[in-house]
Amino acid sequence: DAGITQSPRHKVTETGTPVTLRCHQTENHRYMYWYRQDPGHGLRLIHYSYGVKDTDKGEVSDGYSVSRSKTEDFLLTLESATSSQTSVYFCAISGSGRAEVDEQYFGPGTRLTVT
C-alpha cells in the first residue's frame, strides 16, 4: 500500500457530536480526497484538496468540512454527526501532475457508526 494511514480505524459516536477523521500521507502527493462508501452507491466524493489550504466540495459535502494545513495531513470533520453519516470513509491521494488522469491510492478506511 502507498504510505497512507487513517485514524481512527473504527469509531462509534453519538448523534450530535463532532467527529474528526485524519488522513496522513508520506508520499508528498499534491491531491487528497475524502470519500464515503455505502452499499449500492460505490464511493462518493465528499471533499478534495489540490494543495495546502486549497480545498473544494465534492458531490456529498453537506454536513462535512475539511482542512489541510500541511501537505501530509487532510482532516475530515463531521460538524454534528447524524445517523445518515454512518459509513466507511476512505482517504485517497494522487499527485504527479494532472489530477484527472492520475490513479488514486487509497487508505485502509475508517468505519464510523453514529448511534
* Residues at the interface with another protein (CB under 8 A): 1, 4, 31, 33, 35, 40-45, 48, 50, 56, 58-59, 90, 92, 99-101, 103-109
Question: Does residue 2 contact residue 105 with C-beta atoms inside 8 Å?
Answer: yes
Smallest gap from residue 92 Cβ to another protein (A): 8
| Neighbouring C-beta atoms of residue 17, cutoff 10 Å | 11
Smallest gap from residue 106 Cβ to another protein (A): 4
Smallest gap from residue 94 Cβ to another protein (A): 9
Give the strand pairing for 110-114 and 10-13.
parallel
Question: Does residue 72 contact residue 91 with C-beta atoms inside 8 Å?
Answer: no
Smallest gap from residue 35 Cβ to another protein (A): 8
Residue with cell 462508501: 37
The identity of residue 42, as a single letter, is G
Query: Residue 30 or 81: which CB sits closer to another protein?
Result: 30
HSE (CB half, 13 Å, CA atoms) of 56? 5
